[in-house]
Chain A
Amino acid sequence: MAKILRRERLVPNVHLIEVEAPRVAKKCQPGQFVILMPDEYGERIPLTIADWDPEKGSVTSVILVVGTSTHKLSLLQEGEEVPVYVGPLGKPSEIKKFGTVLCVGGCFGIGAVYPVARALKEAGNKVISLMDVKANYLLYWEDKFREVSDEFYVSARDSYYNCKEFVPHTVKNLIKKRKIDRVFSIGCTYLIYTCAEATRSKGIKTMVSLNPIMVDGTGMCGACRVTVDGKTKFACVDGPDFDGHLVDWQELFSRRKFYFNDEIQSLNYWEKKEFS
C-alpha cells in the first residue's frame, strides 16, 4: 500500500501524482521507473519517476491519461492508497559529462525527462531542453526546466512559443547549428522514434526511453522484450534506455498495439461501472 500525497492536473489530460514511498525515494536515479496498480482490479503499469524527495520520502510521476489505468489514477484523491507501488525499476540513464546534451520530452515525457536534464546539468553539461506540445497551454514545468537548462525550446503547433515545427525538424536544426554530443528522449513511441531518426544521419548517439507493455517489471515475464542491435532485450531490466539507432521500431510499434481492442473494451466496461 502506498499513500497518495498529492494528485493534481497539470494541464488537460496530464496529471501529477506524488506518492509516499520512502524506500524508492532513497534509491531512485534519473531514468528509472515504478510499477503500480491503481486498484486491486487494476493492471500493473509502469510510470517514469519524474521527481523525488528523499527527505519527505515521496516520489512523483506525471501521467498522460489514455486508458483504464491512467483514468483511474487521474481520479485518485490525496490520502487514498494504491495497492501496488514498486520500484525503482530499470537501469538509470547514463549520466556523465558529455559536453552539450539535448533533452527532448513530449507529453508525460516532459516530466519524465526532467530529472535526466537536472542530473546532466549537475554533471557539468551544457543542457538544451526541447519540449514537444500540441499547443502552448499543454506545457508544464517550464520554470523547473529553465532552471536546469542553458537553452529552452518548445515545439508547439500554435505560434506562442519559439518554434512551430515538429520536433524532428527542430532537432535537425539544432544539430546543424552546433556540436551536440548526446541526445536523450522520453515520450510517446512516435516522438522518440522520430527523434532518433533525426539524429541518425549525423550519428549522434540518441538514448530513447522505450515504453513497451510490461507486466512484472523485474525480468520475469518477457512481455517487454524489444530487439536492439538484432538481440532480444528485456526493457524493464536491460533498459528502459536504449540507443535509438539500434532499436527495431516496427516490432515495438506492433507489440505496443497488441491489446488495442481489449483496452477499449476495458475502458467501456469501467466507465459504465463508474459513471452510470
Chain B
Amino acid sequence: MSENKKELSPELKERLKAEYNQEWRQKLRTSLKAKERMKISRVQMPERDSEERNKDFEEVNLGLDEEMARREARRCLDCAKPQCVKGCPVGIDIPTFIKLIETGDFVKSVRKIKETNTLPAICGRVCPQEEQCEVVCNLNKATGSPIAIGYLERFVSDYEREKGEIFVPQTSPSTGFKVAVIGAGPAGLTVAGELVKKGHQVTVFEALHHEGGVLVYGIPEFRLPKKTLEAEVDYLRKLGVEFKNNFVVGMTATLDDFKKEGYDAFFVGSGAGLPRFMNIPGENLVGIYSANEYLTRVNLMRAYEFPKYDTPVILGQRVAVIGGGNVAMDSVRTAQRLGAEWAGIVYRRSRKEMPAREEEIHHAEEEGIEFHLLTNPLRYMKDENGQVKSMECIRMKLGEPDSSGRRRPVPIEGSEFTLKVDMVVVAIGQSPNPLIPSTTPELEVGKWGNIEVDWNTMAASMEGVYAGGDIIRGGATVILAMGDARTAASEIDKYLKTKKRKKT
C-alpha cells in the first residue's frame, strides 16, 4: 500500500499553479541549478543516543535547526508537477511551504500548511511520510533520497510554537448553528477547528479527561510530547471551540438528547478504542495487558511517575509484546524505558510485513529491542500467584497472500517453544468503539462495527450525522482521520446552509 496517489482536484491544481508562478518563486527556482540542488545530501534527523534515550520518556528526535531546515529546503527542485502533493491525503501545498523555508520565512510557511492541515506539529512527527508524500517525491526517483517533508513540517510548526507566534485567524460571524463533535481525537479536533472558523458554535464531547484521543493516551511522550498537543488544543480554544471532557456520549447523553437540546449537526470521531485479544488460553492472567491499557496507564495516567501519580503499572522484567504495528513498537519501547531487562516483539509474519513505520522499527532495534519474527503465541502459563510466567509460541512460515495482499502466516508443526516472560502486552489491533452505535440504533454499522458512511460526504445513515477517522476505518492513521474530518466539515457546513437559517 505504498503509493496511494490521488489525482488532484482542479481547484487545488489551480492554486498550486498560481503559487508556482509567483515572481519570488520563479526567482528562487532559478537561483540554483537543479543539478546543484541534487548534490546536497538529505538531512539527518538529530536524535538522542539510543543508550541514553531508552531509559527515559524525553523525545527521541530532536528536530532540525534553522540552518539544517533551510539547507534541506534548498534540495527541493520546486517541480512544475509536484508529485508529493498527490501523496498527501489532505493535499498540503508542499512545494510552497518548503520554498518559504528556503527563504527563511518560517512563519508564513507554517501558515501555508495550516490552510489545509490544522495539526502540523503532530503530523510532522507521526505521519508515515515514507509511504505518502516522500515516496512519490520526484527527488526520490532521481536520487533515491526524497526531501524530508515530515522533518520540515515539524520544524516550522515547532518554530511557530516556540516563538509564540501562533496566529489565530478571524472566525466568520456566528451562524447560530450548534454542532456537537464526539471524540477529541485528531478527527474531532480537525472538524471542530474547521467548523468554528466558519462561524458555527462547536462543542467537543470527550469521554476521557484530556483532549487528543490516541495522541494523548496512546502515542508516548518520547514520540509525541504532550506539550505539542496541548498547544494545538489551546489554539482551538482560542478559536472558540468548547470542550466538554468526562462526557461519554451514549451514556451521559445520547445523540437524541443532543437533538432535543438544539444541536443541528453531529460529527462522530470516536475512534477505534476496542482492544482485540487473541482468545487463547491464559490471556486474562495477571501481567497480561492490552496495549490500550498499558499505554493509557503510562501516558494518560502517568504511571511512569508513580508514586507521585497514583496509578501503578507493572514493571515487567521480561516483556513480550504481541504484534508488529506502531502500537506494538510504542508498547515495547515503553516497557524498555520502564526498566525491563528484556523486551521483545513477537510477530507472526516477517519484518517486511510489519505495519509499523520504518522509523519506529529502526528506533526500536537501535534501542535493543529483540524481534521474534514469524512467531505466534499459543498459550500463557502462570506462576503460583496467578501471574504469567511463560508463554508457549510456535514458529510460522509465510504461505499464500491473503485478502490484504500480505502472505498468510501458517504454523510450522512441531516448532513449539517456550519464552520466559513476566509481562505481556497484546497489541494486535483495535476495533471501532461500539458505544455510540449501540446507543444509537438508527446508525448503520458495518460488519467490523464501523459506522457506515457515504465516502464522498462522510454522511452516516442518520440525517445530520457525519463520521470519520478510526470509527469508520478501524485502526488507520492520524492524517487519514484528518482528511475524513476535512471532508465532513465542509459537508456539514453545506448541510447547515441548506437548513433554514436561524437567528441567535
Q: A residues bordering B, Cβ < 8 Å?
A: 23-24, 27, 37, 41-44, 68-69, 83-89, 215-216, 218-223, 225-227, 232, 237, 250-251, 254-255, 258-259, 262-263, 265-266, 269-270
How far, in Å, is B102 (CB) from chain A's closest CB?
Answer: 44
- Nearest to A37 among chain B residues (CB) is B209
Report whether A41 and B308 are in contact in the complex, using a CB–CB cutoff of 8 Å.
Answer: yes
Contacts of B273 in A (CB 8 A): 218-220
User: Looking at the complex, which of B93-101, B125-133, B246-254, B362-370 is the stretch in contact with chain A?
Assistant: B246-254
Asked if B292 CB lies within 8 Å of chain A CBs, one says: yes
Asked if B399 CB lies within 8 Å of chain A CBs, one says: no
Report whether A266 and B307 are in contact in the complex, using a CB–CB cutoff of 8 Å.
Answer: yes
Report whether A222 and B293 are in contact in the complex, using a CB–CB cutoff of 8 Å.
Answer: yes
User: Looking at the complex, which of B28-36, B169-177, B275-283 is the stretch in contact with chain A?
Assistant: B275-283
Q: Which of B309-331 contact A (CB under 8 A)?
A: 309-312, 314
Docked pose: A250 CA to B277 CA in angstroms: 21
| Other-chain contact of A222, B251, B292, B314, B433 (Cβ < 8 Å) | B292
Report whether B290 and A222 are in contact in the complex, using a CB–CB cutoff of 8 Å.
Answer: yes
Asked if B490 CB lies within 8 Å of chain A CBs, one says: no
Q: Which of B376-393 contact A (CB under 8 A)?
A: 385-386
Contacts of B275 in A (CB 8 A): 220-222
Asked if B301 CB lies within 8 Å of chain A CBs, one says: yes
Docked pose: A255 CA to B386 CA in angstroms: 8
Report whether B253 and A83 are in contact in the complex, using a CB–CB cutoff of 8 Å.
Answer: no
- Nearest to A248 among chain B residues (CB) is B284
Asked if B297 CB lies within 8 Å of chain A CBs, one says: yes
The answer to whether residues A225 and B284 also contact, given A43-B311, A218-B273, A219-B433 and a CB cut-off of 8 A, is yes
Report whether A83 and B209 are in contact in the complex, using a CB–CB cutoff of 8 Å.
Answer: yes
Q: Could you pull out 19 A-B pairs where Cβ atoms are within 8 angstroms?
A: A41-B308, A41-B309, A41-B310, A42-B310, A86-B209, A215-B297, A218-B433, A219-B435, A220-B273, A220-B274, A221-B296, A222-B277, A237-B434, A251-B284, A254-B385, A255-B386, A266-B312, A269-B308, A270-B310
Docked pose: A255 CA to B285 CA in angstroms: 7
How far, in Å, is A175 (CB) from chain B's closest CB?
Answer: 31
Contacts of B385 in A (CB 8 A): 254
How far, in Å, is B404 (CB) from chain A's closest CB?
Answer: 25
Knowing that A41-B310, A218-B273, A220-B275 touch, tell me 15 more A-B residue pairs with CB under 8 angstroms: A24-B252, A41-B308, A42-B310, A43-B301, A86-B246, A88-B251, A215-B293, A219-B433, A221-B275, A221-B292, A221-B296, A237-B435, A250-B386, A251-B284, A266-B310
Contacts of B283 in A (CB 8 A): 232
Asked if B373 CB lies within 8 Å of chain A CBs, one says: no
Asked if B428 CB lies within 8 Å of chain A CBs, one says: no
Docked pose: A219 CA to B275 CA in angstroms: 8
Contacts of B311 in A (CB 8 A): 43-44, 215
Contacts of A88 in B (CB 8 A): 251-252
Docked pose: A87 CA to B248 CA in angstroms: 7
Contacts of A219 in B (CB 8 A): 273-274, 433-435
Asked if B410 CB lies within 8 Å of chain A CBs, one says: no
Report whether B286 and A258 are in contact in the complex, using a CB–CB cutoff of 8 Å.
Answer: yes
- Nearest to B254 among chain A residues (CB) is A27
| Other-chain contact of A23, B252, B301, B308, B312 (Cβ < 8 Å) | B252
The answer to whether residues A216 and B208 also contact, given A41-B309, A68-B310, A262-B306 and a CB cut-off of 8 A, is yes
The answer to whether residues A259 and B312 also contact, given A220-B292, A232-B277, A266-B306 and a CB cut-off of 8 A, is yes
Docked pose: A227 CA to B284 CA in angstroms: 8
Report whether B279 and A232 are in contact in the complex, using a CB–CB cutoff of 8 Å.
Answer: yes
- Nearest to A32 among chain B residues (CB) is B251
Contacts of A255 in B (CB 8 A): 284, 286, 386
Contacts of B292 in A (CB 8 A): 220-222
Docked pose: A262 CA to B307 CA in angstroms: 8
- Nearest to B210 among chain A residues (CB) is A84
